[in-house]
Amino acid sequence: MSESTQAWVVAAVRAVLGAHTQAQDAGRTDDVVALYTPDGVLELPGTEPIEGHDAIRAAFKGWEQAQPQLHLVTNTVVTSTGEDEARALSDVAFLQRGEAGWAVGVVGHYDDTLRRENGEWLLHRRRTTYQA
């Protein structure tokens, strides 16, 4: 893969991750779901995998925030396995705003696999782990 293609893949993957984070924090569930492949999978510690658009939509609807929230996704490293598939590893800190101000709720990692379908990059699998 050429350097210019690799740079394009990295930019596209980071755009998807940023769009996901902003849509999730704004409570735009349909926008979040649209960023997954139809057979996309979301894995969270202690739960069964959440598979497909309908299940992902139901999960995110159930997580709609009662107070402002912010996911800080950083230190993303993208490795491409081809022009149509890529992997991204990121650190994440989840913050919520309460009466006393912003507080960190969870710190963890995202292990994302993305695929390009019909010219569009989408999340195929997101595996989330938390740090104690």
Reported as a single tens digit per residue, the pLDDT across 2-52 is 766 788 899 999 999 999 999 999 999 999 999 999 999 999 999 999 999
Residue 2, phi then psi, degrees to nearest 5:
-75, 160
Reported as a single tens digit per residue, the pLDDT across 46-74 is 999 999 999 999 999 998 878 899 999 99
Residue with tokens 């050429």: 2
Specify the amino acid at residue 78. V
Q: 101-118 in b/e burial notation, b at 16+ Cβ within 10 A?
A: eeeeeeebebebbbbbee
Reported as a single tens digit per residue, the pLDDT across 80-114 is 777 899 999 999 999 999 999 999 999 999 999 99
- The span from the CA of 30 to the CA of 61, in Å, is 9
Q: What is the pTM of this model?
A: 0.92
CATH of 3-130, one of 3.10.450.50, 3.40.50.150, 1.20.5.50, 3.30.9.10: 3.10.450.50
Residue 25, pLDDT score: 95
Q: How far is CA 49 from CA 34, 73, 99, 119, in A?
A: 18, 22, 34, 26
